[in-house]
Amino acid sequence: MTTSSLALRPLEDRLIIQRLESEDRTSGGIIIPESAKEKPSKGKVLAVGPGARSEKDGSLLPMTVAIGDVVLFGKWSGTEIDLNDMKVVVMKQSDVLAVFES
C-alpha cells in the first residue's frame, strides 16, 4: 500500500519515510547554523510494504506502522535516496524506535 504520488513501492517490511526538519534554534534562542545541524531522526511515513513473512509457516505478518505516522528512528538507519526532488529514507520497520501519538 503506497501513496499515489510515489513512484516507489516498498517490499516486505520496509517503509519510505520523509525526514522532518529539525529546529534551527535552541530553546534559549540561539540559531544553529546548517553545518552544525544533525540529520533529523524524526519522519513521516509516506509508504508501507505489505509486511514480512513468518519463517515458521510463511504467513504474512502485519505492519504496525501506517502511512501518515510520525516516527522516531536511529540516526544511521535506512538508505537515503532522492525521489522526485525529495530526499526520502527507505528502512525496515524494525529500525523504527517509536511512533509519536497525536
At residue 34, the pLDDT reads 58
CA distance 21 to 18: 9
All three cell numbers of 23, joined, read 529546529
At residue 76, the pLDDT reads 86
At residue 97, the pLDDT reads 94
Number of helices followed by number of strands (H, E) in the chain: 0, 6
Q: Which of 63, 61, 44 is nearest to 53 (CA)?
A: 61
Mean pLDDT of 10-28: 81
The answer to whether position 54 is within a domain reads yes
The answer to whether position 44 is within a domain reads yes
Q: Which domain holds residue 58?
A: 14-22+38-99
- What is the CATH classification number for the domain harbouring 75? 2.30.33.40
With bands split at pLDDT 50, 70 and 90, how would you rate the model's confidence at 85?
Answer: confident
Which position has the higher pLDDT, 39 or 70?
Answer: 70
Name the phi and psi angles at 32, rounded to 5. -95, 125
Give the chain's mean pLDDT: 84
The answer to whether position 33 is within a domain reads no
With bands split at pLDDT 50, 70 and 90, how would you rate the model's confidence at 79?
Answer: very high
Mean pLDDT of 59-71: 94
* DSSP assigned state of 64: S
The answer to whether position 27 is within a domain reads no
31-42 burial, b at 16+ Cβ within 10 Å, e below that, comes to eeeeeeeeeebe
The answer to whether position 1 is within a domain reads no
* Structural domain count of the chain: 1
The answer to whether position 69 is within a domain reads yes
The answer to whether position 29 is within a domain reads no
